């Protein structure tokens, strides 16, 4: 069966990266059942032949109007599809969609009529914001990292930048590779546009990774692997903190002076 990926090596490489990340999420235990979502903007890899493709679905309402995404193309994980299956067969467990001229609907272009994730409006709303500001970020990732989610059940950790400074202090690499820290969004109904707007507002404060209280993490970056890496580094810091607590002590953490030294040495955002 012909695939949209055939003879398109750059597009194929993007989808192969999606499959690789999906496998990592499953192996880490961050993607139970159909948990988690991936949406990447693949418009840069779309050629004239794809633009001329007829849709294989009727237009589907997004639920909001996204003025900056007209004609854009996205690869999306399918609703009720498992990451472990997406890792093996990404085009059978996800689909390529095109945003229609009215910016309020999408249509499935390839390869199969796999309806995208129920959180698509949230993801697309963030992509609309990123596109509007000229951001190079093309990938959005939602997943359920165990230790980070657990930490959101402790109210003091939900105060602004409390978790950021705690996680930065656990190991130097956290601040080096996640220099913008971790934004916090209080609990809101999953898949809701209210959650999308709060996520956008938090990203606008200059965060790349946003913690959804008692739910999971939402991360954006230039590509999917980079978004995954940020979550992975932050969760490693959470694991170090919990390991110390399990050994019976409160970890000392890096001093503010040591973290400031890191900021200056690696030219990181303050």
User: Is residue 238 in a domain?
Assistant: yes
Yes or no: say if 231 and 155 are a contact pair by the CB < 8 Å rule: no
Identify whether residues 104 and 168 lie together within a single domain: no
Same domain, yes or no, for 227 and 161? yes
Distance CA 93, CA 47 (A): 23
The bridge status of strand 60-61 relative to strand 105-110 is antiparallel
| Residue 91 sits in the same domain as residue 178 | no
What are the tens digits of pLDDT across the range 123-172?
999 999 999 999 999 999 999 999 999 999 999 999 999 999 999 999 99
Alpha-helical segments (H) within the chain: 9-27, 48-51, 83-88, 120-132, 146-151, 162-168, 172-177, 193-204, 224-246, 256-265
| Residues with catalytic roles | 119
145 sits in which H/E element: none
pLDDT of residue 270: 66
CB 157 within 8 A of CB 150: no
| Same domain assignment for residues 172 and 267 | yes
What pLDDT does residue 22 have? 98
- Are residues 270 and 174 located together in one domain of the fold? yes
Asked if residue 106 and residue 3 are part of one domain, the reply reads yes
- My answer on whether 2 and 109 are in the same domain is yes
pLDDT band at 259 (very low <50, low <70, confident <90, very high): confident
Confidence of residue 192 (pLDDT cuts 50, 70, 90): confident
Q: Which of 117, 134, 162 is the last residue of a domain?
A: 117
Give percent of the chain with pLDDT exceeding 90.
88
Examine residue 253 and state whether it is found in any structural domain, yes or no.
Answer: yes
Residue 132 lies in a domain: no
pLDDT in tens, 74-97: 999 999 999 999 999 999 999 999
Whether 269 shows a pLDDT value over 80: the answer reads no
Structural domains in the chain (count): 2
CATH number at residue 166: 3.40.225.10
56 with 99, same domain: the answer is: yes
The residue from 117, 133, 164 where one domain ends is 117
Verify that 163 and 227 share a domain, yes or no.
yes
In a domain, 140, yes or no: no
Is residue 88 included in any domain, yes or no?
Answer: yes
Flag whether 4 is in a domain.
yes
In a domain, 78, yes or no: yes
Residue 127 lies in a domain: no
| 267: confidence class by pLDDT, cuts 50, 70, 90 | confident
Full domain range(s) for residue 230: 145-270
pLDDT, mean over the chain: 95
Q: Based on the domain organization, do 171 and 226 belong to the same domain?
A: yes
Answer yes or no: do 108 and 150 share one domain.
no
Residues 210 and 171 in one domain: yes
């Amino acid at each position: 069966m012909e695939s949209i990926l055939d003879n398109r090596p750059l597009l194929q490489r993007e989808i192969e990266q999606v499959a690789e990340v999906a496998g990592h999420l499953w192996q880490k235990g961050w993607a139970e059942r159909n948990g988690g979502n991936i949406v990447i903007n693949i418009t840069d890899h779309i050629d004239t032949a794809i633009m001329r493709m007829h849709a294989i679905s009727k237009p589907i309402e997004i639920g909001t109007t996204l003025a900056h995404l007209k004609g854009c193309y996205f690869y999306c994980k399918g609703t009720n599809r498992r990451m472990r299956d997406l890792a093996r067969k990404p085009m059978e467990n996800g689909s390529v969609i095109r945003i229609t001229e009215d910016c309020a609907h999408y249509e499935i272009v390839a390869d199969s009529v796999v309806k995208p994730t129920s959180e698509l409006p949230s993801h697309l709303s963030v992509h609309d914001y990123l596109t509007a500001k000229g951001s190079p970020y093309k990938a959005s990732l939602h997943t359920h990292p165990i230790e980070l989610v657990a930490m959101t059940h402790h109210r003091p950790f939900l105060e602004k930048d409390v978790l950021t400074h705690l996680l930065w202090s656990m190991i130097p690499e956290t601040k080096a590779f996640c220099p913008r820290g971790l934004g916090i969004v209080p609990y809101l109904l999953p898949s809701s546009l209210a959650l999308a707007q709060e996520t956008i507002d938090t990203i606008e404060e200059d965060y790349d990774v946003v913690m959804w209280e008692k739910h999971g993490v939402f991360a954006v970056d230039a590509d999917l692997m980079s978004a995954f890496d940020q979550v992975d580094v932050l969760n490693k810091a959470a694991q170090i903190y919990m390991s110390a607590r399990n050994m019976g002590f409160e970890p000392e953490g890096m001093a503010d002076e040591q973290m400031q030294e890191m900021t200056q040495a690696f030219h990181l955002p303050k």
